[in-house]
């Protein structure tokens, strides 16, 4: 067989067949994001203008752009999502219901589901993975570096202190709940270097008597109210809190509950950084 620069035609064909087929780049021209954490990452990647629809938890992130609201990420409508003609749908592994996810998969629309991050390292993995999938590796690297800078600043501020903390979710329609292990409230306490003194998992309704018995050094309050009003509202609703150590030391601190719905997100890390200046 005729040789081409020392290689036979047969060997060249064999080599070409053995090379991996490169996947086509993900089309990011029209993105529907149904996860607040993903939405915030996408905006950090410079893809805000590519968003054509978002879920209800992302609406505060996109401001006054008037993007279609796809509803709650666990109760999506396949027709609603597909009506926005996305080339890419991004959500978390919690998006649903399952038949909707199956329908989206069958249509051939690119679908990316990120694991809900329960700590900062899982958030960093999500950022890096999404950057790889969307060909935004340099943007992802800078975002990861910023997260690590904020985490280092928190650790430097906290030092060896490990204050006893609780996280309370104060939602007007659900009453007051205390965050145990496996919650974003607990993850926030860990980011702050605190000790979550709650002895159970998940969220449970809490009484003021039980809270006063625990008497934590710091009470974090996740609320729909503005940060200026949330702590005052809590004490107004529950006057017994005036006897708490945290109240007397001005350590009842408020958190925007809207930042807590997507697990450990960029917003949660920023909140931890802000709170660290007040806790220590």
- DSSP percent split of the chain into helix, strand, coil, nearest 5: 50, 20, 35
Kindly report, as residue ranges, where domains of CATH 3.40.50.1980 are found in the chain.
26-114, 152-279
Question: Which candidate, 134, 195, 127, 131, places its Cα nearest to that of 167?
Answer: 195
Name the 3-class secondary structure at 50: helix
The model's pLDDT over 233-271, given as tens digits with 9 standing for 90+, comes to: 888 889 999 999 999 999 999 998 888 888 999 999 999
The model's pLDDT over 141-190, given as tens digits with 9 standing for 90+, comes to: 999 999 999 999 999 999 999 999 999 998 766 678 999 999 999 999 99
What distance in Å separates the CA atoms of residue 32 and residue 68, rounded to the nearest whole number? 9
Q: List Cβ neighbours of 43 (8 Å cut-off, separation of 6 or more).
A: 51, 61, 62
Token couple for 68: 């279609």
Phi (first) and psi of residue 48, to 5 degrees = -60, -40
What CATH number does the domain located at 26-114 have? Answer: 3.40.50.1980
2 has pLDDT over 70: no
CATH class of this structure's domain 152-279: alpha beta
The model's pLDDT over 72-109, given as tens digits with 9 standing for 90+, comes to: 999 999 999 999 999 999 999 999 999 999 999 999 89
Residue 1 has a pLDDT of: 46
pTM of the predicted protein model? 0.87
- For residue 256, count CB atoms less than 10 angstroms from its CB and return exposed for 0-12, middle for 13-18, buried for 19 or more: middle
What distance in Å separates the CA atoms of residue 15 and residue 135, rounded to the nearest whole number? 27
What distance in Å separates the CA atoms of residue 63 and residue 67, rounded to the nearest whole number? 9
């Amino acid at each position: 067989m005729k040789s081409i620069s020392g290689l036979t035609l047969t060997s060249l064909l064999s080599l070409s067949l053995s090379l991996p087929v490169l996947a086509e780049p993900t089309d990011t021209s029209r993105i529907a994001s149904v996860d607040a954490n993903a939405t915030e990452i996408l905006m950090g990647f410079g893809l805000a203008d590519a968003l054509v629809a978002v879920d209800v938890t992302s609406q505060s992130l996109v401001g006054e752009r008037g993007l279609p609201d796809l509803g709650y990420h666990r109760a999506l409508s396949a027709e609603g999502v597909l009506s926005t003609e996305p080339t890419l749908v991004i959500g978390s592994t919690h998006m649903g219901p399952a038949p909707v996810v199956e329908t989206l998969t069958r249509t051939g629309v690119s679908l990316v589901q990120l694991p809900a991050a329960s700590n900062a390292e899982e958030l960093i993995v999500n950022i890096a993975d999404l950057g790889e999938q969307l060909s935004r590796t340099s943007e992802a690297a800078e975002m990861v570096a910023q997260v690590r800078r904020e985490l280092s600043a928190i650790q430097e501020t906290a030092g060896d202190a490990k204050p006893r903390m609780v996280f309370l979710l104060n939602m007007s329609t659900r009453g007051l709940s205390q965050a145990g292990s496996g919650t974003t409230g607990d993850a926030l306490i860990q980011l702050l270097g605190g000790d979550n003194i709650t002895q159970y998992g998940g969220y449970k309704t809490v009484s003021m008597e039980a809270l006063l018995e625990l008497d934590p050094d710091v009470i974090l309050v996740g609320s729909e109210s503005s940060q200026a009003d949330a702590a005052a509202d809590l004490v107004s609703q529950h006057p017994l809190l005036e006897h708490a150590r945290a109240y007397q030391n001005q350590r009842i601190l408020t958190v925007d509950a809207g930042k807590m719905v997507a697990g450990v997100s960029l917003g949660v890390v920023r909140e931890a950084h802000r709170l660290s200046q007040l806790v220590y």
